Each structure stands twice: as structure tokens, then as C-alpha cells.
Structure 1
Amino acid sequence: MSVTPCGFLRTPEKGLARLHWADTGWAVDGRPPDVAALRPLRGLEIEWPAAEVPVDGLLRLAAAGVPLTAERAEPWVPAGLAALVTDRAWLDHAPDGTARSLADLRREEHSVRLRRLAHPALTPKVSIVMSTKRPGFVGAALAQMERQLGVEAEVLLGLHGVAFEEVRAAVEGCSLSVTWVEAAESTPFGEVLNQAAALAGGDYVAKWDDDDWYGPRHLSDLVMALSYAGADVVGTTAEFFYLEPLKATIRRTTFASGAGYPSEVWADHVAGGTILVSRSNFQEIGGFPGLSRAVDLEFLKAAQKAGARTYRTHGLGYVLRRGLSDQHTWQLPLAHFVKVAANQWRGFRPSLLMDAA
């Protein structure tokens, strides 16, 4: 298994430590880097040696999600790495213990950018499966799919009680390959997804919700996590929510019980709108359960029973929309999301990774 960010801590307990060259390799305060021991640190401040040295050790730390920073970079440092480690904007935000603090979020964004640099780039074909009862949401959803970077995407659209004529303009205006099926409104949600997924030709099947927001590297980050973790199923945290009636964005890092809700862990729960699985594993699991509700939860249970391992990666490229509870298959009152919020901001305030490539 490759070096991974598994075990990344959102909130560091200590400050920066010194990363320097010690004759035979990179060292942290005189000792070889131990990723597990580095997790509580805010990051590592690089001190460059005078002569050129290998950067493999730095890339391993980047692959592990350890935040790296430097005031400058030597000319021999690869351009991509140099640009990232000298971008110190994330350090401008000091933790202040308030619900509006951005310190932990900016640090994690920096970590994700380093992971992307360090892990080999793949360009797989991904079959995006989306069921909708809301024709008015289809255009925006397809536009977000078109923005996906690092993958070759095809769209499999399940029209759930919706006639194709209602979405024709959006579909024909999309640059991606879009295949659709029409299902009666009485058809269970999971069955509509399966009818669409049966047409998949990609290496991976990815579930997509019509009313949520996805960053441009959402799919490529999922494929990256599946690869470095060696997982069978991958998804993100359900971490960012936009509460439309309150016009507020919240970020949760715990469950309602108070238990931690970390990313970069093996888990039995991921955000349903972010499930990604290889097409062969999807078929072995038996597809989505033909239910009207709890389709994601039951799919993950079926995956576990089939012996599949599920990994939960970061959720910075995903925002769930929440209106009144009766508008969603996952029915919880808005007060629940306010209660579990570790951070809360006015307006639509997603992670910077929602826009940055």
C-alpha cells in the first residue's frame, strides 16, 4: 500500500516543527520523519540545504497529507512542489476557538493540494449515475459534471417521473455523453438508479445527487483515495451543508452523539451522494437496493456483507443542500445541523477547493 493521509487530524495540537536535511535524508528536529508522530503538528517548516538533495522524502510527506511550508524554494526544487510549499496563505489564519475560525479548514485545503501533487495522476472513465424528480436542477448538475478534471466522465440520467422533453435543453447543451432512462414516479428510487447504472461503460460508477454542489476535482479525488487506500468503495464525509432557509453554511466534524467524524479513515459511513466504486465491484455487490429510501445506507451495508472495504476521504469538495426536511430523502430538521456545527458562516461559504482546480 502506498503512503496515504490515513489518520490525518483536522485540528492540530502543536505548532510547526523544523524539517531539514541531515546528511542522509530529511529529518524532523534531528530524527527521521515518523508520520504518525507528526499528525498532531500544524505542519513542517522546510529548511533547504545549500546543495541539491533528493525531494522524494518531501513527496512522501506530501502524500501522507502532512502540511509542508517554506519561506522560499531553491531553484532545484520541482516547480509544482515549490509553488505549493511557498504558498503560505493558510498560515495567515490563526486558530481562535470560534465557530467562524478558518485555520483548520485552510490547513486541510493545503494538505489536500499536496496530496494531489504527490499521488500519481490517473484519468479513468467514470460513469456518473444521477436520478432526479426535479427537472429544474438538471442543468446545474450537468454543468458541475462538465467541470470535473482528471477523469473522463459519462452521465447516466434516471428521469424519475420526469419526461425527457422537460430536460432536453439541458441534456443537449451538455458537452458530456448523456444517456437517460425514463421511469414512472412510482418506481423505487434505488431501482431508477439501477436502471441508469445498467448502462455504465466506465471503469467506475459514481453516485451524484441533483441538488448538491461538487468541486471540480471531486471525482478525481475519489479515484485517488480509492487507489492510495486500496479500498473497494470510497466516499467523502458529509461535512459541509448549506442551510437554505437560514442562508448559512455549516461544517460538522462530529456526529450528533459527539463522537468524532474524521476523514481519511476506514469507515462504514460515507456521504451517499459521493459513493464511488469500480463497476465490477458494483456488480458484485448487487447494485443499489431497490428501495424508495435509505438506498445509500443499505448499499453500504450490502457492500460490507459482500466483503468490500469502504474508505472515507475528505469532504472539502462537496456541499449538501438542505431546505425543509420534507424536501429530502435524508429527513432531519435544520436544528440538527446547527447543533452539530463545528463552524458556521453566513451565506454560501464552501471550501476554497470547491472552485480552485
Structure 2
Amino acid sequence: MSKNTGVSVIVCTNKPHMMHNIFNNYQRQDYWNKEMIIILNHNRINKRKWRKFAHQSNSHNVTVYQLPEELSLGKCLNFAIRKSRFNYLAKFDDDDYYASTYLQNSMHTLLNENAGVVGRQDFYMYIQDKQELLIRHTDNHLIGGSLLFHKKIWKKIPFEDRSTGEDDAFYSGCVANKIPMAQPTFKDFVYIRQSNNKHHTWQPDEHTLYYNTTFVTHTDSFHPYIS
């Protein structure tokens, strides 16, 4: 890929305990030209600790910013994108799992299918407390943690000033503007959650959580199923 296909990974978090997961997801990416912009959306997170960890872990091209927790997730995402230096943007969630081929697969699909946005409607979902691995299908949107898109799309459809549903609103804007979208393989991404809603932005009841899912297996490690 050319030097113009660099990817800026955008991560917004208010969870200090997810620091290692965020850095591991970035470092794991087998992609030659990347950067990561982290937005700490919480007043009491120690920004120096995160910057020190980035240095000590040899995480190259990582920038850490801190914004007031009163700002919405949408505003934080827009801030991070304005700070990005590459034309392609990958939105990572702080608590999910991204396999080493994730960025490669996403960029390959976007460029080969001439899409403006790629994301996953089908994806692995792992319920940690029940050790359940499932495949989940969403009917009418792409899961927010799997979005990768060209910056020119964002300039036309920035994220709305809200902390829930900002991904759905972005997707709806893309549909309304007839932005071409494509879906890479689902086997390089795992949406991780507890059955309890306490620590999650999306808080469905049990029926909704398991709706449109296919059970794969009970396991204490989903890694053998990821490619």
C-alpha cells in the first residue's frame, strides 16, 4: 500500500483499567503505517501515566489527549479526528479485541470495493462472565467499534454531539448520503461484554442481547477462533 494509506486509530475512553487493552490492540496491528490518538474523557485519569506507558511500551506514533468528562463522546471523536494526520480513520472501542490482521483486512476491503466506509454487521460477541462465544448479526447498522472510513466522509458527516447512538447517527448519515459501504471478514474482531449492563454504554435486556445470535461455543479463550 502507498504512503497515502496510513490509518489513524481513534480511541476514546473513560476507563483507566482499559489502558493495557487499548495499547495491546494497537501494537498487535500488522499494519505498516499507523498512528493512535487516545482521548481520555475523564477528569481523574492520569494522563502522564498513559503517556509514560506509551513510551515504555515502545508504542510508536501514539498521542494522548485529555478532555473534560462533560464533553460528549461525539465531540471527543471529532476532536481526535481533527488531530489525526492520516486520511483513513479507524474507530476502536476500548474494551473490544482487534486481531493482528484487522486493519489490513479493513483497508483491503475499503480499497478493493471502492467503499467510503467499512464495518461489520456480523461479528463475534464474547460474554465474559458466561464464557459464551457467539456470532451476532445486526440488521440495520454497522457496529460502531468496527468502523473504518476516509476522512472526507467525516468532513461531510461529523459525529453528532451525543454520547450514545453517535455511531448509529453516523451510519444513518452515510446511508442518507449514499456513501458506498462494505463489510470485511467478521473473524478479526470480537465485541466483548458482560451479561450485566453496568459497565456498558449499550444496555439491552437479555432478549435483545441474544437476538440474531448464533451460539459458537463455551470457552475461556476465544483466540483459537480468531483469524
Structure 1 residues 209 and 274: CA distance shift in structure 2, 3 A: same
Partner Cα separation in structure 2 for residue 152 and residue 353 of structure 1: 27
Are residue 288 (structure 1) and residue 169 (structure 2) matched?
no
CA contact (8 A) 1:316 1:351 kept: no
Structure 1 residues 238 and 330: CA distance shift in structure 2, 3 A: farther
Identity %: 22
Matches within 5 A, 1:258-269: 269=141
Residue of structure 2 equivalent to 1:193: 77
Partner Cα separation in structure 2 for residue 139 and residue 193 of structure 1: 20
Residue of structure 2 equivalent to 1:246: 130
Partner Cα separation in structure 2 for residue 167 and residue 273 of structure 1: 21
Query: Which ranges of 4 or more aligned residues in structure 1 deviate by more than 4 Å?
Result: none
Matches within 5 A, 1:142-221: 142-161=23-42, 162-172=45-55, 173-221=57-105
Are residue 298 (structure 1) and residue 169 (structure 2) matched?
yes
Secondary structure, in 3 states, of the residue corresponding to 1:313? coil
Residue of structure 1 equivalent to 2:148: 276
Secondary structure, in 3 states, of the residue corresponding to 2:39? strand
Deviations 1:62-89, CA, capped at 9 Å, x for gaps = xxxxxxxxxxxxxxxxxxxxxxxxxxxx
Identify which of 128, 141, 161 aligns with 2:22: 141
Task: Please list every run of 5 or more consecutive structure 2 residues that lacks an aligned counterpart in the other structure.
Answer: none
Counterpart amino acid of 1:225? T
Matches within 5 A, 1:329-344: 329-344=201-216
Comparing 122-131 and 201-210, the one that deviates more: 122-131
Secondary structure, in 3 states, of the residue corresponding to 1:236? coil
Partner Cα separation in structure 2 for residue 174 and residue 143 of structure 1: 11
CA contact (8 A) 1:128 1:207 kept: yes
Partner Cα separation in structure 1 for residue 171 and residue 211 of structure 2: 26
Measured after TM superposition, the shift of residue 211 of structure 1 is 0.1
Residue of structure 1 equivalent to 2:181: 310
Residue of structure 2 equivalent to 1:97: none
Measured after TM superposition, the shift of residue 353 of structure 1 is 6.6
Structure 1 residues 302 and 339: CA distance shift in structure 2, 3 A: closer
Aligned length: 222
Task: Please list every run of 5 or more consecutive structure 1 residues that lacks an aligned counterpart in the other structure.
Answer: 1-120, 256-260, 262-267
Measured after TM superposition, the shift of residue 303 of structure 1 is 2.0
Partner Cα separation in structure 2 for residue 297 and residue 165 of structure 1: 33
Secondary structure, in 3 states, of the residue corresponding to 1:230? coil
Secondary structure, in 3 states, of the residue corresponding to 2:7? strand
Secondary structure, in 3 states, of the residue corresponding to 2:119? strand
CA contact (8 A) 1:142 1:174 kept: no
Structure 1 residues 310 and 351: CA distance shift in structure 2, 3 A: farther
Counterpart amino acid of 1:183? L
Partner Cα separation in structure 1 for residue 216 and residue 33 of structure 2: 35
Secondary structure, in 3 states, of the residue corresponding to 2:202? coil
TM-score, normalization: structure 2? Answer: 0.88
Greater RCO, CA 8 A, separation 6+: 2
Residue of structure 2 equivalent to 1:112: none
Measured after TM superposition, the shift of residue 201 of structure 1 is 0.6
TM-score, normalization: structure 1? Answer: 0.58
Comparing 343-352 and 292-301, the one that deviates more: 343-352
